[in-house]
Amino acid sequence: MSRLRAFQANGGKVYDLFIGQKKESKRESKRIQIDKAVVRNRKLAASRETIGNLTILNTGKKTWAYEFLKSIRHA
């Protein structure tokens, strides 16, 4: 509270300060959401590529390993 009083006494506008902080927090939350989306997309892309390179899934024989890998492919 004392910092706000000092800020106001030095000619600062408290309303503008709060609005600026609110806008900055919105920008930061937006950046975090975008970062999470990028990480999620990269994980999905990486897992798809490694799953596609497995020959056991391409041969078509239904073994226990084939069934297991097929079930985790869509997880």
Res 49: pLDDT: 59
CA–CA separation, 17 and 62 (whole Å): 65
24 pLDDT more than 90: yes
User: Which pTM does this prediction carry?
Assistant: 0.45
Query: 46 vs 68, which has greater pLDDT?
Result: 68
Range of 17's domain? 2-73
Secondary-structure breakdown of the chain: helix, strand, coil percentages, each rounded to the nearest 5: 85, 0, 15
Using DSSP, state whether 63 is helix, strand or coil. coil
Specify the number of domains making up the chain: 1
The amino acid at residue 3 is R
